[in-house]
Amino acid sequence: MGIIKNFFGRFSKDLGIDLGTANTLVYVRDKGIVINEPSVVAVNERTGHVLAVGQEARNMIGRTPSHIVAIRPLVEGVVSDFEVTEKMLKHFIEKVHRETFTILPRPRIVIGIPLGVTEVERKAVEDAALNAGAREVFLIEEPMAAAIGARVPVQDATGHMIVDIGGGTTEIAVVALGGVVTSKSLRIAGDELNRNIVAYHRDQFNLLLGERTAEELKIAIGSASEDVDVLESKVRGRDIITGLPREMTVSSEHVREAIGRSVKLFSDAIKDTLESTPPELVADIYERGILMSGGGALLRGFDKVIQKITQVPVKVVDDPLTAVVRGTGRVLEDIEALRDIFVLSTHDERIMK
């Protein structure tokens, strides 16, 4: 068996994957990040064929005939459509190996997963990756991967707090000695902010926006704090009363009001996690600050809001969108030395039982 694995390993590239609700990023050992595309698959329901994956499929959302559906196979950080997730992973694995002319790529894969996922949810990720062509799958909790990606010495006795705000989940964790000491996982994140913006414009202005338009508005002018410059943007949607298209100018104050409740939920969860952290580690966190990663960390003034509530310095990591996948990549470089930080696979659990 070992000989076969070595044979496949010689022709396959080991991959680190951030399998996100909004985006999937792929890191290839010795090459860096080679794929950063939306976690969307367009499927022809009549034939079952995959028509497009990633950005091309995302462009189809809300624009397809009835028999073509653009599916987001991950909801709140976990696999909701097993077959489509498998097809998406297979597409990305083959895309990475296309230039090497490998007939049957069988890479080792490190995948980031949310905190506190169930055994069934973990097994879904493992099985999807194995069925897509992986010869071995290693799972790592996303905040741990983000901390490693931010070059935090996670195996030291010093405590570090990382807040990873993705598309479907928000992961808050205090890490020390290669493990998560205290944590909180919220199944609300960037996608929820988009829904807040849609609901606000519907209720306040009778204007129906698409979620993609809401996301673009959030990125363009969104802010969590009053201490940032007021920005404006034009937005187009459907007037609920007339049913006709309408354009209006929206300010960052409107967006802040729309997402205010969710921002408070994030801040309260971070505060609660700090309150349940051992005093020695709290002292470390106060000295080193809270680290923020994920797309949510890019929301203007969010770090200021958290700093004000917790009274602890807050730093956004370099390139927060790629912190998790960079962490999986660093783990790939030395899998044997870092085995202790992996989540026990469902296969290993069954052996131990």
Q: Give the model's confidence band at 118: pLDDT under 50 very low, under 70 low, under 90 confident, else very high.
A: confident
Flag the least confident range among 6-10, 45-49, 249-253: 6-10
> Does the pLDDT of residue 1 top 50, yes or no?
no
Cβ proximity of 270 and 172 under 8 Å: yes
pLDDT tens-digit map of 31-67: 899 999 999 999 988 888 889 999 999 888 777 788 8
pLDDT at res. 343: 82
pLDDT at res. 3: 43
Q: Is 297 annotated as a binding residue?
A: yes
The verdict on 239 and 193 lying in the same domain is yes
The verdict on 49 and 160 lying in the same domain is no
pLDDT at res. 103: 58
The verdict on 38 and 90 lying in the same domain is yes
Q: Is 298 annotated as a binding residue?
A: yes
The verdict on 118 and 208 lying in the same domain is no
> Does the pLDDT of residue 187 top 90, yes or no?
no
The verdict on 39 and 120 lying in the same domain is yes
> Does the pLDDT of residue 353 top 60, yes or no?
no
Q: Is 243 annotated as a binding residue?
A: no
Cβ proximity of 2 and 22 under 8 Å: no
Q: Is 295 annotated as a binding residue?
A: yes
Taking residues 61-75, report their average pLDDT.
85
The verdict on 163 and 309 lying in the same domain is yes
pLDDT at res. 102: 56
pLDDT tens-digit map of 234-243: 999 999 999 9
| Number of domains making up the chain | 2
Residue-averaged pLDDT of the chain: 88
pLDDT at res. 30: 83
pLDDT tens-digit map of 259-295: 999 999 999 999 999 999 999 999 999 999 999 999 9
The verdict on 97 and 182 lying in the same domain is no
Q: Is 217 annotated as a binding residue?
A: yes
> Does the pLDDT of residue 172 top 90, yes or no?
yes
- Tell me the sheet residues that pair with 112: 18, 140
The verdict on 196 and 170 lying in the same domain is yes
pLDDT at res. 191: 92
pLDDT at res. 352: 40
Taking residues 327-340, report their average pLDDT.
86
Flag the least confident range among 77-81, 108-112, 133-137, 160-164: 77-81
More confidently predicted of 151 and 103: 151
Cβ proximity of 84 and 49 under 8 Å: no
Structure tokens that stand for 261 in this block: 């409740």
The verdict on 56 and 196 lying in the same domain is no
pLDDT tens-digit map of 191-202: 999 999 999 999
Alpha carbon of 265 to those of 197, 257, 326: distances in Å? 16, 14, 28
Which CATH number does the domain housing residue 87 bear?
Answer: 3.30.420.40
Q: Is 179 annotated as a binding residue?
A: no
pLDDT at res. 202: 96
Alpha carbon of 15 to those of 38, 144, 179: distances in Å? 18, 17, 23
Q: Is 167 annotated as a binding residue?
A: yes
Taking residues 114-122, report their average pLDDT.
88
> Does the pLDDT of residue 351 top 50, yes or no?
no
Task: Round to whole Å and give the CA distance between 31 and 14.
Answer: 10
Taking residues 2-14, report their average pLDDT.
55
Q: Is 216 annotated as a binding residue?
A: yes
Q: Is 133 annotated as a binding residue?
A: no
Q: Is 209 annotated as a binding residue?
A: no
The verdict on 168 and 305 lying in the same domain is yes
More confidently predicted of 6 and 310: 310
> Does the pLDDT of residue 9 top 80, yes or no?
no
The verdict on 307 and 168 lying in the same domain is yes
The verdict on 92 and 22 lying in the same domain is yes
> Does the pLDDT of residue 5 top 60, yes or no?
no
Q: Is 218 annotated as a binding residue?
A: yes
Q: Which helix (H) or strand (E) holds 233?
A: strand 232-239
Q: Is 222 annotated as a binding residue?
A: no
Domain range for 275 is 152-317
Instruction: Give the predicted TM-score (pTM) of the model.
Output: 0.87
Q: Is 178 annotated as a binding residue?
A: no
Q: Is 124 annotated as a binding residue?
A: no
Task: Sort residue 289 into left (φ over 0), alpha (ψ -120 to 50) or beta.
Answer: left
Q: What percent of the chain has pLDDT over 70?
A: 92
